[in-house]
A and B are shown apart, each in its own frame.
Chain A
Amino acid sequence: MARLTAENTELALEIIARYPRPKSALIPLLHLAQEQDGHVTDAAMSQIAELVGVSAAEVLGTASFYEMFKFEPVGRYMVNICTNISCQLMGGEELLEHAESTLGIRPGQTTEDGLFTLEDVECIAACTEAPCLQVNYRYFHKISNPQFDQLVADLRSGARNDIPPHGTLAKVRQRIPADRRAGVVTPEDTAHPVWLASSQEAQS
């Protein structure tokens, strides 16, 4: 199965170079793998292990701690419905039930056409807009049952195509231009920060 493409491998190396220790890039690289394939493959984890210099078991250990990483294929759209307290009070659980019947699946399952995976999730920080949901981590606030059905219909028909497939988070990436880069500071860089030194001099 899929390793990172050449282009993504290059990006991975660029990301690793931002951190004082390569292992710190683990989660960003797992996101990169998930962006590429929609889920994190074993091959990608093995490759990431090599890239950051840890064992594959360590990569899996980290990856599996975090809910967003999927190790099996999921739908093109991950529909996450919040049922935590604020949403529960405002009908989140009922919305989830409705979604189950509209999509014909239970939380954790994927529709047969491979388009939707449904999840019952914890608070997604939109509590004042309850009940709320995310599709591929894009927010939909104060959703009624008909609105939900419309959203599903639009995604199915392609009428809505502004949501990238599962795995893509920010569409803009941080890029640090070489001429502006201050550089990583590793724990071994024990020098006194220059600006502290020079402004102290300026003061005295």
Chain B
Amino acid sequence: MSTTEVPRIITSRFDHEDSHTLARYEATGGYQALRKAIGMAPAAVFDEVKAASLLGRGGAGFPAGVKWGLAPAEVWPRYLVVNGDESEPGTYKDRLLMERDPHQLIEGVLLACYAIGCGQAFLYVRGEMALAQEHIAAALNDAYAAGYVGRNILGTDFSVDVVLTWGAGAYIVGEETALIESLEGNRGMPRLKPPFFPAAKGLYMQPTIVNNVETLSNLPWIISNGGEAFAALGAETSRGTRMFAVSGHVKTPGVFEVEYGVTTFRDLIFSPQYGGGIRNDNAIKAFIPGGASAPWFFEEHLDLPLEKVTVDRAGSMLGSGAIVVMDETTDAVKACLRVVRFFARESCGKCTPCREGTTWLEKILQRILDGYGRPSDLALLMDVCDNISPGIAWPPKQTTICPLGPSAVSPIASAMERFRSEFDARITQAEQTRISVPVAFPKAVTHA
């Protein structure tokens, strides 16, 4: 791996105390890309982004240039929606970008609007991120005053309002169609795709481009340095750099911008400049490579590069750039339950299999953990999983509208595949202690 020559594309200002201010931003090349773009034809700006082959950083990893091109020609208005709802467990990067370099994001938003022809942009920040909201609000106020945003940007006929809006606590709103529903003032329940692909029928049923905060934060650099320069970094389909949060049982957890496509999991987890190895030099038990929705990886996956297609083929995903490391002391059943509980709590409730199924999975796992497991429970767990995600395969098939339901299947499938003995042990133990109390299941929590 080559760490030294790789430029920091999106975290370049992070070392400055005042990285979020307009003064610092302008002093470090800020809004130059916008000036440059305005001198170019919008289509030329678009072309640079295509040339960069910038993959979306929100989770699905869809190329931004391709997505922009999916908006039907000559249907106006179009909207840009910025996905700053970062909520996938283990994920921690968009918040940093919003808190520490809000102008970079705003400039990215403007570049996208200019290239795509968006009439209005909505910057949707997760509700729980008060500081990010505050820094973006201040940055927008300054940028408006300085003529970078709003009417007749930099004296040209390019005009667009960027409206800051924020959520109120619902993981599912990170899913793009749910985000759009939320922006329309509704419950954040996903829409079925097709027909509701945002690029064609999004916000108010108009063509809408939804991009992640990190995705858009790359644009100023791409326009300043050219798409080619961006694409020169990385490998295969995964170009440029990317932020990864390494959390869990590592010595030095942190968020790192590394070259995409070539850096390996082992680098990130073990290299002293990143994770620094497993705490207490314990053995690694498993790691989640791309946020809670991703199937778990194990020791044998450590040398895979952080490259989208390679990781997909290996049976998981880089998702939202969240690597969660579990060492040998980890209780697999407990960890599995915690992730499943997350999805059960965060189900929007629209699809029957997700609403009922994930809660049921949680109840079964909780029962096993509490010492009330039955031998038949493991087959039951897998069958319920199969009814949410038929075949329990990767990429997942689903009986649901969005992938949240199937996401609850990932940890179970992973833990059961590798650590089934831990589940068995809990059940055997339960069998032995339960002789005197044959049917004494705990009462379910009831919600009035």
Instruction: Given A69-B168, A128-B247, A202-B41, check contact A23 B185 (CB 8 Å).
Output: yes
Instruction: Given A68-B128, A85-B335, A128-B255, check contact A52 B185 (CB 8 Å).
Output: yes
Instruction: Given A31-B166, A202-B41, check contact A122 B245 (CB 8 Å).
Output: no
Choose the segment among A1-9, A129-137, A148-156 that binds chain B (4+ C-beta atoms closer than 8 Å).
A129-137
* Nearest residue, chain B, Cβ from A194: B157
B77 touches A65 (CB 8 A): no
Interface string of B140-156 (1 = CB under 8 A from A): 11001101011100001
The residues of A that contact B158 with a CB separation of less than 8 Å are 195
Interface string of A72-103 (1 = CB under 8 A from B): 00000000100111101110000000000000
B193 within 8 A of A: no
B188 within 8 A of A: yes
A170 within 8 A of B: yes
Least CB distance, A30 to chain B, in whole angstroms: 7
Least CB distance, B229 to chain A, in whole angstroms: 24
A177 touches B144 (CB 8 A): yes
B205 within 8 A of A: yes
Least CB distance, A28 to chain B, in whole angstroms: 6
- Could you tell me which residues of chain B, from 113 to 168, have a CB within 8 Å of some CB in chain A? 114, 117-120, 126-131, 133-134, 136-138, 140-141, 144-145, 147, 149-151, 156-161, 163-168
Q: Give the CA-CA distance A171 to B132 in the complex, in Å.
A: 11
The residues of B that contact A54 with a CB separation of less than 8 Å are 185
* Nearest residue, chain B, Cβ from A190: B76
A18 within 8 A of B: yes
B168 touches A88 (CB 8 A): no
- Could you tell me which residues of chain B, from 298 to 324, have a CB within 8 Å of some CB in chain A? 322, 324
The residues of A that contact B145 with a CB separation of less than 8 Å are 177, 180
Q: Give the CA-CA distance A61 to B187 in the complex, in Å.
A: 7
A126 within 8 A of B: yes
* Nearest residue, chain A, Cβ from B150: A180
The residues of A that contact B100 with a CB separation of less than 8 Å are none
Q: Give the CA-CA distance A90 to B253 in the complex, in Å.
A: 11
Q: Give the CA-CA distance A186 to B346 in the complex, in Å.
A: 32
A24 touches B184 (CB 8 A): yes
State the majority secondary structure of interface residues on A: loop
Interface string of B195-239 (1 = CB under 8 A from A): 000000000111000000000000000000000000000000000
B420 within 8 A of A: no
Interface string of B73-99 (1 = CB under 8 A from A): 010110100000011111110110000
Least CB distance, A123 to chain B, in whole angstroms: 4
The residues of B that contact A182 with a CB separation of less than 8 Å are 120, 150-151, 159-161
Interface string of A175-204 (1 = CB under 8 A from B): 111011111111101111111101110110
A27 touches B168 (CB 8 A): yes
* CB contact between A65 and one of B138, B188, B330 (< 8 Å): that residue: B188
* Nearest residue, chain B, Cβ from A26: B185
Least CB distance, B186 to chain A, in whole angstroms: 6
B169 touches A84 (CB 8 A): no
Least CB distance, B402 to chain A, in whole angstroms: 15
Instruction: Given A123-B87, A128-B245, A180-B145, check contact A85 B338 (CB 8 Å).
Output: yes
B30 within 8 A of A: no
Instruction: Given A25-B185, A67-B170, A125-B91, check contact A172 B137 (CB 8 Å).
Output: yes
Instruction: Given A23-B184, A176-B144, check contact A84 B338 (CB 8 Å).
Output: yes
Least CB distance, B198 to chain A, in whole angstroms: 14
Instruction: Given A27-B182, A52-B185, check contact A187 B77 (CB 8 Å).
Output: yes
* Nearest residue, chain B, Cβ from A175: B141
B246 within 8 A of A: yes
- Could you tell me which residues of chain B, from 309 to 363, have a CB within 8 Å of some CB in chain A? 322, 324-326, 330, 334-335, 338-339, 342, 345-346, 348
A193 touches B90 (CB 8 A): no
* Nearest residue, chain B, Cβ from A84: B89
* CB contact between A170 and one of B118, B134, B182, B324 (< 8 Å): that residue: B134
B140 touches A174 (CB 8 A): yes
Instruction: Given A127-B322, A187-B77, check contact A27 B166 (CB 8 Å).
Output: yes
Least CB distance, B33 to chain A, in whole angstroms: 16
Ranked nearest first, the 6 interchain pairs of A and B with the lowest CB-CB distance are: A185-B119, A66-B168, A67-B169, A26-B185, A23-B185, A170-B133
22 contacts between A and B (CB under 8 A): A26-B185, A27-B166, A69-B169, A84-B89, A88-B338, A89-B325, A122-B89, A123-B91, A123-B342, A125-B87, A127-B322, A128-B245, A128-B253, A170-B133, A170-B137, A172-B134, A176-B144, A187-B77, A187-B205, A193-B117, A193-B119, A195-B158
